[in-house]
Amino acid sequence: QVQLVESGGGLVQAGGSLRLSCAASGRTFSSYAMGWFRQAPGKEREFVARISSSGGITVYADSVKGRSTISRDNAKNTLYLQMNSLKPEDTAVYYCNLVTGTIPRNDWGQGTQVTVSS
């Protein structure tokens, strides 16, 4: 069983950067592909990026491609999302989760708020 805690969000001006972290507990963290998702007010949760269990394969949503980098440190049981050139439309609560194929687990944590001002 993997427990996940997101952190690193905050208020940033457009063009700025943030690095989000997802701290995991559980002995099987390294066995799972992981993903970042976000949910803006009044919107459904959407896919942002995912990474294979070993970190060798990454996939990004078109909306963040070229501006974001997903990575993981399995030795530290931590998932990261580096976000650069942030835009107001990136404003959302960001969540991490285990993914099977492209499907996230139906168990979500508190997330971390990212707010990008103009």
For residue range 86-108, what is the model confidence (pLDDT) as tens digits?
999 999 999 999 999 999 999 99
User: Which of 36, 9, 6 shows the shortest CA–CA distance to 22?
Assistant: 6
* Contact status, residue 39 vs residue 46, Cβ threshold 8 Å: yes
CA atoms within 13 A on the CB side of 7: 5
Q: Is the pLDDT of residue 1 over 80?
A: no
Task: Quote the tokens at residue 103.
Answer: 């499907």
Place 27 in a pLDDT band, splitting at 50, 70 and 90: confident
Mean residue pLDDT of the chain comes to 96
